[in-house]
Amino acid sequence: MKIQSLLYTMLLTGFLCSPALLHAQQQMEPDSLSLAKNEFEDNFYEALKQKGIENYDKAVQALQKCLGKDPNSAVVHAELGKNYLELKNYPDAERSYLKATQLEPTNRWYWAGLYDVYYDTQEFNKAIPIVQKLISWRKEIYQEDLVSLYMYTKQYDKALALINEMEQTVGMSEKREMYKLQILADSKAANPGKDALEAAIKKNPKEESNYLELIYLYSNSNQEAKAEEVAKRLEKEIPTSDWAQVSLFKFHLNNKKGDKATESMFKILGSKKIDRKIKHRVLNEYLIFTSANPQYESQLERAIGYFENDKEVNVPKEVGKFFYNKKDFTRSAKYFSKSLAAKPDDIEASELLLYSYADGGMNGPLLDKAAELIDSYPTHARLYYFAGLGANRQKQYAKAKTWLQSGVDYVVEDTELEANFYRQLGEAYGGLGDTKNRDANFAKADKLIKSKSNK
């Protein structure tokens, strides 16, 4: 192995300047050791250093000197490709990567670099054969790229075939579903007509994609009954079809068949093939349905449990917001509480829970929860306000006065909140029979509101 190839391999594997490298050097023949400080190595290290500090021109100069010593070094050509790409010198980047792939055609990193060049220059037709090579190394990643490249180059038949294949192997995704709808909606895609699809289904009843295209065509022409019938045939012929359940779920909801929609929803949520975003959309549609049909709320709670490990979306909190906006404060409080059980330090969910208690007239829970939260957030002004509000509503005026006086000093640049503090202090003093301080605090509140409206 040439010394430069060895050095590059060690750079990639993290062994450069490590005990492993020293050991490797000890195992080298004396002639190899004598090469350790040759001109090639010095220039190669200089190139890496200059690239590291983004001096790409100087890195190119050093690498050109390396080529003077070894014009057939694949690693040097690849490094040149990287630097030319950073400089947006795409012709030279392409030439360098092509040379590297010719010298070492099994090195996927060189092909990946060439793909980067073609993607940046939007030469998608050139990129396609490169990605087809890369699929053998990282199928799950590069298949997604290949679908997009087929879409960019309007090769819809190839895109659709690959989408259908991926649905069977890796499951569904929102992006591929969007592509599929785009293909089916594009008249230039020359989709087969309904009769042709019916014939194709009859000939091969186990081919899922024909059912899906037919469902789309019927739905798009407002023939919902026929679309539903096709979805039912798909479910009967391919009981494991996840897409059948997605389609049936929508039909059942539209027909107000709550039990059947619920059954389809749980099949979708339990599927390992269906993309998380599609599951979120299904849950959202079921949430809207449950808002008008509260008898299904226990099923909604069960559905939310499928998302308990979701790191991107706090589903119970979002459900709580939905019910809060609907002014269904009992149910919003219920889901904000569930959210806090999973993530107790979410101050936004805590405040939304308190708003739900306040707007829903749940004054005992309002006072208790606010007082509990103050222990964790002793300088959070709004918590004191809610504690004072809850105490006033329960005619615990002395307690309200204490909470409000303690919290008002923590208000920072929030005129409305400060005015609310003084209103509640006025209520507390009024309840205690102190009319002088009652009127004084109401006056402070009015003054703050007027000053805000005059700005």
Q: Specify whether the CB–CB gap between 108 and 134 falls below 8 A.
A: yes
What is the distance between the alpha carbons of residues 68 and 88, in angstroms, rounded to a whole number?
24
| 6-21 per-position pLDDT tens digit | 333 333 333 333 333 3
Please indicate, yes or no, if residue 401 is contained in any of the structural domains: yes
Number of domains observed in the structure of the chain: 2
Please indicate, yes or no, if residue 106 is contained in any of the structural domains: yes
- pLDDT value at residue 29: 44
Domain boundary (75, 100, 121) is at 121
pLDDT grade for 335, boundaries at 50, 70 and 90: very high
- pLDDT value at residue 214: 83
pLDDT at 1 over 90: no
DSSP state of 14: T
Q: Which long-range contacts (CB under 8 A, 24 or more apart) does 51-57 make?
A: 51/79, 51/82, 51/83, 51/86, 54/86, 56/83, 56/84, 56/86, 56/87, 57/87
- pLDDT value at residue 432: 94
Please indicate, yes or no, if residue 345 is contained in any of the structural domains: no
- pLDDT value at residue 346: 92
Mean of the per-residue pLDDT values of the chain? 84
- pLDDT value at residue 187: 47
pLDDT grade for 190, boundaries at 50, 70 and 90: very low
- pLDDT value at residue 21: 30
Residues 89, 95, 100, 106: is their CA dihedral positive or negative? Answer: positive
Containing structural domain, residue 455: 362-455
Please indicate, yes or no, if residue 284 is contained in any of the structural domains: no
Task: Look up the CATH number of the domain holding residue 18.
Answer: 1.25.40.10
> Alpha carbon of 355 to those of 133, 325, 404, 411, 422: distances in Å?
57, 11, 17, 18, 19
Q: Which has the minimum average pLDDT: 112-126, 220-234, 384-398, 428-442?
A: 220-234
| 59-74 per-position pLDDT tens digit | 989 888 888 888 888 8
Please indicate, yes or no, if residue 400 is contained in any of the structural domains: yes
Domain boundary (93, 121, 149) is at 121
Domain boundary (88, 121, 154) is at 121
What's the Rg (C-alpha) of the chain?
33
Please indicate, yes or no, if residue 315 is contained in any of the structural domains: no
Please indicate, yes or no, if residue 303 is contained in any of the structural domains: no
Q: Between 172 and 130, whose confidence is greater?
A: 130
Residues 119, 97, 80, 33: is their CA dihedral positive or negative? Answer: positive
- pLDDT value at residue 189: 45
Mean pLDDT of 82-86: 91
Mean pLDDT of 382-406: 96
pLDDT at 184 over 70: no
Please indicate, yes or no, if residue 75 is contained in any of the structural domains: yes
Q: Which of 163-172, 205-214, 402-411 has the highest mean pLDDT?
A: 402-411
Q: Between 9 and 167, whose confidence is greater?
A: 167
Mean pLDDT of 354-379: 95
- pLDDT value at residue 192: 56
pLDDT grade for 395, boundaries at 50, 70 and 90: very high
Mean pLDDT of 260-283: 88
- pLDDT value at residue 445: 92
pLDDT grade for 32, boundaries at 50, 70 and 90: very low
pLDDT grade for 42, boundaries at 50, 70 and 90: confident
Rounded percentage of the chain residues whose pLDDT exceeds 90: 40
Mean pLDDT of 309-327: 89
pLDDT at 330 over 60: yes
pLDDT at 4 over 50: no
DSSP state of 193: -
Rounded percentage of the chain residues whose pLDDT exceeds 70: 89
pLDDT at 44 over 70: yes
DSSP state of 16: T
Per the document, the length of the chain is: 455
pLDDT at 361 over 90: yes
> Alpha carbon of 363 to those of 116, 292, 354, 369, 390: distances in Å?
61, 27, 10, 10, 5
Mean pLDDT of 392-413: 94
Which tokens belong to 363?
């004054």
Q: Specify whether the CB–CB gap between 356 and 391 falls below 8 A.
A: no
- pLDDT value at residue 238: 86
Q: Between 429 and 54, whose confidence is greater?
A: 429
Report the predicted TM-score, pTM, of the whole model to 2 decimal places. 0.58
